[in-house]
Chains A and B, each alone.
Chain A
Amino acid sequence: MKNKTLLIISREYLTRIQKKSFIIITILMPILLVAMIVLPALLIVMNEQKQYSRILVVDESEVFINNFTDNDHYEFSYRSGDIEQIKNEAFDQDYDVVLQILSNSQGVRSNIYYRKNLPSGLQSEVENQMDDIFFNQLLKDSLHIDPTRFEDMQKLAKAESTTIQIDEKGAEKEHDAEVNQIFGMMCGIIIYFIIILFASQVLRGVLEEKSNRIVEVLLSSVKPTQLLVGKIVGIAMVGLTQLVIWAALSGAILLGIQLAAPDLFRPDTMETIAETPGVNLPNTASIDVAPDNIFTMIQNYFAVSFGVIIVSFVFFFIVGYLIYSTLYAATGSVVDNESDSQQYTMPITIPLILAIVFVPSIATNPDGTLAFWLSMIPLTSPIAMMVRLPSGVHAWELLLSMGLALAFLIFCIWFAAKIYRIGIMTYGKKPSWKTIFRWLRM
């Protein structure tokens, strides 16, 4: 009898991974994911490689003459005389830009003349340098302070802070609250998507067999529970396969890019990305940690040991998927078509949506009442507990949450088996909730 279940699992698995849509999504997803990480970095690097600009400075104030600093991208030359004449000649002499600095009593103004394109970033570069030069000039002239001394003082006066959590035993651990929040939210969201993507496939699969009317043929060879277990396990394996391929492909692509363009992920590039509006990487991602002890680095970030997080993630991933897929299977068995199923999935899906809506508030206040209860209720706990976990929870809370989820899963399996057994053979009228409760007693 066991190998019948295996046979069902392998059919569920093979037919799904052979689908074109599966193959396309499996390959495209990591490419998109990598593109999301790489493109901003690439844009910044490309920006840096902009052409070399030669700037001709015509300074009427004389404050800036010979004070601009040349670098990899800008070269400054100086000339004085009639601006109109210089403008006419400069572009023929291979200058890209003519910078005219005017001075009056209110401060400094400048005009940037260019012919074809204004190199991007040139204006801000010029403005920044002018600010510094002008500021240093003011320090020297008005306050009589040596600019180099001022710079030293500025460095000296910089304050830095580290967040340190003290656990019950008094052990201290450096970690970053913000990283915890983001990591927790990521775990929660991944579990949410896994449940949405794959548990709903169980519903569709059950419904397919029922509306196809193949189910009666199948049930003359196997038991309903074998069919149900085969489907749930088969789809879980499809999900795992997809996750593994996604992780491996993303990793391989990132590694390839790293080898091809080692400069792309320099910390300063990453920092620039973090500062780019719209890209919300944690700006702590590139903090000064030697790359050779990345694991210690990860370990240091979290309030809970990394091992516990991994084990809990796997646990809630499996239990969360099983809870929702068994409930969805029961739903699929009582209806005749997909549009009818919504009426019955509503009470199951609402907790899931609530959990995902509350993810940000759980992350910002992981020890609050809301976070606590959401991480105890089995329909929301796989998501809520994973969001809380990196910020640290008591061992009893984690164990209680896991225990409740397991107990609820056992209930779900019993419930789904009862409903499925009868529902799968019942066609026509949608059963009322009352009818369904009667099935439970049959």
Chain B
Amino acid sequence: MNIIDVQDITKCYGDFKALDSVSLSVPQGCVFGLLGPNGAGKTTLIRILMRISAPDKGQVLFKGHPMVADDVYDMGYLPEERGLYKKMKTGEQAMYLARLKGLDRQEAYTRLREKFEQFGMMDWWNKPVEELSKGMQQKVQFITTILHKPSFLILDEPFSGFDPINANLLKEEVLKLKEEGTTIVLSTHNMASVEEICDHIALINRSRKILEGDIFEVKNRFKKNLFSVETTDVSNTLLHQLENQQYQVCSQHTNKFYTRLEIKIPDTRTSNDLLQLFMQYAEIHAFNEIMPTMNEIFIEQVERANQQPSHEE
């Protein structure tokens, strides 16, 4: 079941088409990576999902029904450009933001105390935000985003501004939320974190969605039949045989212990054929398929899309 269905959304700012007939689905309970180059339209899409702006065309379904105003209370949003009132006391401000999300005073207070203690921030409750470090402010923002326990969460570049320790803390928190059943949309340029925590991705480029799917399915789709073989000795006979049977040796590295070959298998053959060939001539230490990284897929797909004449049906 999908928690969000974006159906054919178009949004224009004057003459500029920020989103062009974009449709995508966010399955319930997953971490969904919303990817795309700067200015592709991600923030516009997020703002439409959060009902901050309205689409010119198309609609958004939330849990199967056309989204209504009250749905925002079941949603949390950590914007990329985020800030707090600098002069306001931290605790007071967190209370305010929590109550704007529909929590009553008592509930907000209990949950905030709990979270502040968990993150070791109780000392900051009565301090104005401007006295907090940037990382502290980010923590406060994250806490207020998830405090009302939304079932749908959008995090826009959540890791920016965090040191590695806090980034890791945040990552664990995101995975914990996922285990609890929260669906999370993660918009980021940090491909390593996409590999680590996303289950689904969608790639938006120049106002259009160019790729969407389960992360393994996507990787599978773009794999190039590349295999890596580690072996002790690479004889000329072996190389000659590989060439004869249309295997393509992409690279060859030798170190003290073994030689590593990257080989592209032609469509007519399988990995087992390659393995058999090697077994005849060499001792195999390791054999595995090279899957494309999200980084490679991102760059490749965006470049491919940009080479095509843009914005034509």
* A interface residues (Cβ-Cβ under 8 A, vs B): 1, 4, 7-8, 11, 15, 208-209, 212-214, 216-223, 425, 427, 438
Contact = CB atoms under 8 A, between A and B. Distances in A.
B242 to A, nearest CB: 56
A221 B101 contact: yes
Given A217-B97, A221-B100, A212 B75 contact: no
Residue from B78, B84, B96 having most chain A Cβ neighbours under 10 A: B96
A216 B73 CA distance: 15
A223 B51 CA distance: 9
Contact of B50 (A1, A212, A220, A438): A220
Contacts of B50: 219-220
A223 B72 CA distance: 11
A220 B156 CA distance: 13
Given A15-B87, A221-B101, A438 B82 contact: no
A212 to B, nearest CB: 4
B90 interface: no
Nearest to A210: B83
B288 to A, nearest CB: 44
Contacts of B100: 4, 7-8, 218, 221-222
A438 B14 CA distance: 8
Contacts of A4: 100
Nearest to B14: A438
Contacts of B47: 425
A108 to B, nearest CB: 73
B72 A11 contact: no
A222 B97 CA distance: 10
A31 B268 CA distance: 96
Interface string B169-192: 000000000000000000000000
Contact of B77 (A11, A15, A217): A217
Contacts, number: 62
A425 to B, nearest CB: 7
Nearest to A219: B52
Contacts of A216: 52, 77, 79, 81-82
B141 interface: yes
Given A217-B79, A221-B101, 11 more contacts: A4-B100, A8-B100, A209-B85, A212-B83, A213-B83, A217-B144, A220-B51, A221-B72, A425-B52, A425-B53, A427-B81
A214 B52 contact: no
A208 B85 contact: yes
Given A212-B84, A212-B86, A213-B79, A220 B96 contact: no
Interface residues of B, number: 30
Interface string B59-78: 00000000001001101111
A1 B144 CA distance: 19
A240 to B, nearest CB: 22
B99 interface: yes
Contacts of A217: 77-79, 82-83, 97, 141, 144
Contacts of A220: 50-52, 72, 75-77, 79
B277 interface: no
Nearest to A224: B52
Contacts of B73: 221
Residue from A220, A223, A427 having most chain B Cβ neighbours under 10 A: A220
A427 B144 CA distance: 24
15 contacts: A4-B100, A213-B79, A216-B52, A216-B81, A217-B144, A220-B50, A220-B52, A220-B72, A220-B77, A221-B73, A221-B100, A221-B101, A222-B100, A425-B47, A438-B14
B88 interface: yes
Interface in B235-284: none
Contacts of A15: 85, 87-88
Q: Which 9 A-B pairs have the closest CB atoms?
A: A213-B83, A220-B77, A212-B83, A221-B100, A216-B79, A213-B81, A214-B83, A220-B50, A219-B52
A196 B253 CA distance: 75
Contacts of B84: 212, 214
A188 B286 CA distance: 89
Nearest to A439: B14
A220 B85 CA distance: 16
Contacts of B99: 7
A299 B86 CA distance: 50
Contacts of B79: 213, 216-217, 220
Contacts of B87: 15
Interface in B76-122: 76-79, 81-88, 96-97, 99-102
Given A217-B141, A219-B52, A220-B72, A212 B85 contact: yes
Residue from B47, B85, B141 having most chain A Cβ neighbours under 10 A: B85
Nearest to A227: B100
B41 to A, nearest CB: 14
Contacts of B86: 212
Contacts of A223: 69
Nearest to B50: A220
Interface in B35-55: 47, 50-53
Contacts of A425: 47, 52-53
Nearest to B141: A217
B56 to A, nearest CB: 10
B88 A1 contact: no
A259 B75 CA distance: 62
A1 B69 contact: yes
